[in-house]
Amino acid sequence: MLVAAIIVIVVYTFRDSAVPVLNELKQTTFAVALCICAMAVAYHILEGFITTVLARQYQPGFRLWTGIKNAFICSFYRVATLGSGAGVAALVYLGEHGISYSTGFGLYMTQYAVHKSSIALFSMLFFVLCFPFMQVHYAEYQWLLAAGYVLTAAITLVLMLFACSVRFHKLLLTMLSFLNDKMKGRFTEPLMQLKEQCRMLEESSHVLLGKPRVMAGIAVLNLIKFCFFYAIPYLSFYGQGSITLVQTMAVTSLSVMLAAVLPSPAGIGSTEFVFTTLLTKIVGTGAAGSSALLYRFGTFVFPFLVGGVIVIVRRIRRHTGSGRQQEENDEI
């Protein structure tokens, strides 16, 4: 029902250009749909590999298949909770496989911070790589694009500081303690919870930040991972000659980065709006809208469906009494 509601929201976003978009979607072949699914799977395999690399810094026996399943489970709960429950689902699942909740919290926050910073880095790299193309088509938006990069950099900086900076934690807690005193201790309990979370982040991130080669490798894997998602729209334009693969990834990464600073749950609606606004100038309304819908399917709906199957199978196993032991036997 929630996915249906999301589809309604996306369709509403394209209500003014429904006819050309539908005409373009009708031309989508089964081979294209299959390629989109394959690219989504490749993305989640890399995401699972990243989780596995980080988890093995704490639990050497952590399995790759467990990391991949974690990636799909997070995608399921990202849709089911409109983005807010993916992290909680990751902590619970990692906790079932030897990663304590305190360690998992720091691991996930560090992974998320690197993920967000990699989005900005990918967009900047491809913007520079395709600068003449971007300058021709988006010169009139230069101040808006600059503002988007500044906001993204600020959000990324705060995430990185919150994930690993002891000084930032002390400054934040000092400011909040001062405000709490002024409010006569009304927020003492949430403040104590935040202190505990900061402590967990400091302990977990200390392990990861002490291994710069691992963190550099994770950043590179993130850049490779994004290629699979950001290349999805090109499948709609293949053969038209209006835009190349590299240019498509440059525009898509820019759209995702700009949409991330807009206040919308899980980027629903904002991503499609920014994406079609930027691409309509190049390929037309129909092709831009169609590619946006295909991108949403590949990055949102299909992973949700795969993750849903994994969640259902896990629940069935628990109800039939096989539980965790059966899952570990399958992985072995």
Q: Quick one: pLDDT at residue 332?
A: 47
Contact 103, 204 (CB under 8 A): yes
**Model pLDDT for residues 312-326, shown as the tens digit of each residue:** 998 888 878 655 555
243 confidence band (pLDDT: 50, 70, 90) = confident
What 3-state class would DSSP assign to 69? Answer: helix
Domain locations along the chain: 2-331
Contact 119, 257 (CB under 8 A): yes
What 3-state class would DSSP assign to 238? Answer: coil
Q: Which of 32-36, 48-52, 152-156 comes out lowest in average pLDDT?
A: 152-156
**Model pLDDT for residues 159-197, shown as the tens digit of each residue:** 888 877 888 888 888 898 888 888 877 888 888 888 888
- Please state, in angstroms and rounded to a whole number, the distance separating the CA atoms of residues 128 and 118: 15
User: If you average pLDDT over every residue of the chain, what do you get?
Assistant: 83
Q: Quick one: pLDDT at residue 265?
A: 56
What 3-state class would DSSP assign to 108? Answer: helix
222 confidence band (pLDDT: 50, 70, 90) = very high
Q: Quick one: pLDDT at residue 302?
A: 92
Question: Would you state the structure tokens that stand for residue 286, as one six-digit string?
Answer: 């129909």
262 confidence band (pLDDT: 50, 70, 90) = low
Q: Is the pLDDT of residue 75 over 60?
A: yes
**Model pLDDT for residues 112-158, shown as the tens digit of each residue:** 888 988 988 999 999 999 999 988 888 887 787 788 888 888 888 88
More confident residue, 141 or 22: 141
